[in-house]
Structure 1
């Protein structure tokens, strides 16, 4: 029985070693890009890449585990069991070697690790082969052959531990329990651990140097994890208009249309403030405006609303954090049944506030008390210009972390000190914080309201309010612009329909010493409009943000708020609203029929754009 267990462990260990080996080969292959990494950079690539290497090892070990379990009960000759395993190892070795060799060759041209995009080109083998240089083909074939040979050799060594001899039913019973226990650990390796985030490419991202992040990525995982997306024809998801008609309709809506670069109305006292962006988890307008026995649930948001710029008609673009983040930070509309954040090859080339501001000398950092691997956030943030990410793994507080991470009390206190420290550094900065306590299960160290949702929201409001008071009392406040905006709304009260406009209405407040004075902004807008509006106030070009409209610009395009839900869209402006449900192909609301065409255009263009990236 010991040999059986030893065999499974040996397969897992051998696979990990083989996966780790790919990384120094990749970095040596691209020695020029790796030149500045130093020994510490190489070690960091190996260490951070290990999580996905363990995941791939978990997948590879699953079949040997099943074979070992079957061999305890099924009476077959040991030679046959060994033949099955040998064939399996050869198949794994050849597929892995081909993926690795192709990935190494294509990275030079693609700039990202191999994913299912390659299958698009292989649909026409003749054309694909015509674009392959002969000697390149020879070189990569040799690399694949050498790597496959090494893998097969090492796996054959592990077969020495295999024991397929028959055992009695008592031994088989105990052995089955042991193997099932090992299967549990194997599942954890496949899942990527016990945390909230499952295995994804973002787990290995650790640096603002994208080459190091790519070097840490396991190409086998990158390829296999993207297979589910390879057949998606995004442009055909919502075929409302033919291409010329779609282009013409979108031209009237795009944020960077001719004339949109006209000087915007100034609302700041300086064109180069330090910027703090606080993304508020689930802060819905319905909760912000709620009162319990006459007492406001969010007294600090109500107070801050009167002290700064208050955007009365502001809407979230989605109902999920990952899509709301992309809308806020990249000015890119949310999708219905997918999330571009989960497609690194496509999300990496989105425009972003951080990238634009870092290009103008701003230091950019993003902080979160939870796990930024969740929904590929770290991958997206690093790729779009955030130079530093600080999250749960980097933080150590006396208080125990909650389900989602460190609560808003400790994070807001820590973040206030961080902003003050950044200000003292003298370099202009963009610092963002994503809160988390106002998220289900609403477990917070606070007891003010009986309703757990309202109580958690009140807790986060108190934490944010205290953070703003701390900043206001510091020298940093004088040159600071603080943007408070929700990532999405929340279905409160419970009778609120998932697709109606009020469900997606959220607060946005601009405050800080850099704000010229209190104002109430009535313009209809949504999260995608933050990018152009903020950059416009900083005097920075935002022509690469196709969808983002400067709220303070005097010129067209028309101002409206657009959002999506699971399978449909809503559009709201000063004249009414329109909501369309794709599942039933029906109009839900139509108080302003013109907005149906606006929504169809935005939805189709978003998916067409994704298909092109």
Structure 2
């Protein structure tokens, strides 16, 4: 009666084994020349251990229909289950083989995993095959059929054996059918759990990313999984937001985004400081007393700003979520109102990136987060943007104090301190990105400064940890060449107490550390995206590749404004005011101004044109 359950388990194991025994060795051996470094046994072991989860996910997809077919046949044996499974095995074998072989062959040319973009090329078969010889095509399709034959032979052997023994039997009584149905429901739930994952956010391809070498991440990632996932992330860039002809758009934008200039105000006393970038979860200006925020929250933040720091007081967040904010900060790249570029793994290496630029100057680069880096494709982006080392929750003991999203900020600031001490001992020049998490719902923190305000209390906790960290590091030799940059990923907007978009988007940027040559407040209007170019300007490094980031302390910054995007809308702010535009109605919903609207639409047009070409 429960033979279908055993059949499902065997079929699942076979599907997983096919990718482990056939697909991965084939991909690795054929593309081994893509990786210039020697591949060690440890590398192979890590590829298999990290990639297994994506193989299990695809095995779950492939097993779902055989589970349903066999369970239904067990309850209602009114059709030839062997024939139905044979048809299914033929289709799946061909599909799996095509994806696996195409991925293996194309990787040498594309250097990224096969995804839905392949269908664009297949619209013209003549063009798709124009650059390869007939002999190459014959060999390629022969390998496809061999792989399909291997998969079909194994799946059909299991199906034939099980259909003649485990899946054969008479009609069942109603109560036995009910038991079969319950077992089927449980197994479907297990397959769904494997596909989705058990974490807060559903699985995505970054669940296998672990290495600073893209080849190893791509080797680990199951091509069928990347294909399925990419089908849900269609190209949302090409042809979007077309308002002007190309010349008119460029005429509007050229004065707005200068990519060169001479820095007029020097904040640093050294061109090559060690840099700690603290990305503070949701730190809107409403929590900073000196910016008109709550009086008892970010008091240490203000104390540090007053004690030799530099505070940028009129910065606007690039967008409204962390996945957008990280790209705004590290790539100086504008947030998108209809999607998030961080989801498009193959575009990420083509974005400008501050850590990658500093690596060229000899910096050791690290990204640290107390949570899961697979959420929102953070690991994909951190690696693509040039971080050599990733540190996340899995790298810490289970005894570390945690909240819903990961390890509390106090513990993580202690880790950052120890890491800086180790890098100082080694004499390294380094750049570290540290993303906090305690000031995120459900705002559960080991702190009680504001017992009647759980949200404010969580920010006060991170403020306390940040203050203790700065006071502690200030007493060490590491302070002398240290630049700490503290910036929010986005603002905070409670659904039960919404604020205006201007207030929500208002965030602070704070510089502190022994590398500073001066202190004070900078009240120039700026965007979060301007941090990258402004920092590079202070380091006397070019920033022309950061086309949407401006050095606000340079002589070319003649038109101060900020740009913020939200769900299918944008806000542009200059010295005269703010204009908020809804892209769906294509109308200003607040602060209508033809000049600002024209600039905002030109920015969107250029942004999406640029993304389509990356």
Please tell me the TM-score bracket, short chain as reference.
Answer: over 0.9
Q: What is the CA-CA distance between 1:557 and the residue it aligns to?
A: 5.0
* Contact 1:268 1:537 survives alignment (8 Å): yes
* Contact 1:254 1:557 survives alignment (8 Å): no
Q: What is the CA-CA distance between 1:283 and the residue it aligns to?
A: 0.5
Measured in 2, the distance between the counterparts of 1:58 and 1:43 equals: 23
What is the CA deviation profile of residues 213-262 of structure 1, one whole-angstrom value per residue up to 9, with x for unaligned ones? 111111111112111334x4523221211223223322222241xxx232
Show the 5 A alignment for 1:561-576: 561-576=562-577
Structure 1, gaps ≥5 residues long: none
Measured in 2, the distance between the counterparts of 1:70 and 1:350 equals: 50
| Residue number in structure 2 paired with 1:11 | 11
| Residue number in structure 2 paired with 1:252 | 255
Deviates more, 1:235-244 or 1:422-431: 235-244
* Residue 208 of structure 2 is aligned to residue 207 of structure 1: no
TM-score w.r.t. structure 1 length? 0.95
* Residue 150 of structure 2 is aligned to residue 147 of structure 1: no
| Residue number in structure 1 paired with 2:426 | 425
* Contact 1:481 1:513 survives alignment (8 Å): yes
Measured in 2, the distance between the counterparts of 1:501 and 1:122 equals: 46
Distance 1:293 1:542, change over 3 A: closer
Deviates more, 1:590-599 or 1:59-68: 590-599
Q: What is the CA-CA distance between 1:505 and the residue it aligns to?
A: 0.5
* Contact 1:255 1:557 survives alignment (8 Å): no
Q: SS where residue 407 of structure 2 aligns?
A: coil
| Residue number in structure 2 paired with 1:541 | 542
* Contact 1:235 1:609 survives alignment (8 Å): no
**Cα root mean square deviation, aligned:** 1.9
Measured in 2, the distance between the counterparts of 1:10 and 1:371 equals: 32
What is the CA deviation profile of residues 530-556 of structure 1, one whole-angstrom value per residue up to 9, with x for unaligned ones? 111111111222111111001211124
Measured in 2, the distance between the counterparts of 1:448 and 1:556 equals: 42
Distance 1:233 1:33, change over 3 A: closer
| Residue number in structure 1 paired with 2:70 | 68
Q: SS where residue 485 of structure 2 aligns?
A: strand
What is the CA deviation profile of residues 348-394 of structure 1, one whole-angstrom value per residue up to 9, with x for unaligned ones? 21010010001111000000000000111101111121100000111
* Contact 1:271 1:539 survives alignment (8 Å): yes
| Residue number in structure 1 paired with 2:388 | 387
What is the CA deviation profile of residues 329-348 of structure 1, one whole-angstrom value per residue up to 9, with x for unaligned ones? 01110011211001101122
What is the CA deviation profile of residues 480-537 of structure 1, one whole-angstrom value per residue up to 9, with x for unaligned ones? 0000000000115954446x22110001100000011212111111111111111111
Distance 1:151 1:397, change over 3 A: closer
* Contact 1:276 1:481 survives alignment (8 Å): yes
| Residue number in structure 2 paired with 1:220 | 224
Show the 5 A alignment for 1:179-218: 179-191=184-196, 193-218=197-222
Q: SS where residue 507 of structure 2 aligns?
A: coil
* Contact 2:285 2:293 survives alignment (8 Å): no
| Residue number in structure 2 paired with 1:474 | 476
Measured in 1, the distance between the counterparts of 2:293 and 2:360 equals: 50
| Residue number in structure 2 paired with 1:506 | 507
Distance 1:289 1:297, change over 3 A: same
Measured in 2, the distance between the counterparts of 1:452 and 1:555 equals: 44
Q: SS where residue 588 of structure 1 aligns?
A: strand
Q: SS where residue 406 of structure 2 aligns?
A: coil
Q: SS where residue 529 of structure 2 aligns?
A: helix
* Contact 1:576 1:591 survives alignment (8 Å): no
Structure 2, gaps ≥5 residues long: none
Q: What is the CA-CA distance between 1:210 and the residue it aligns to?
A: 1.1
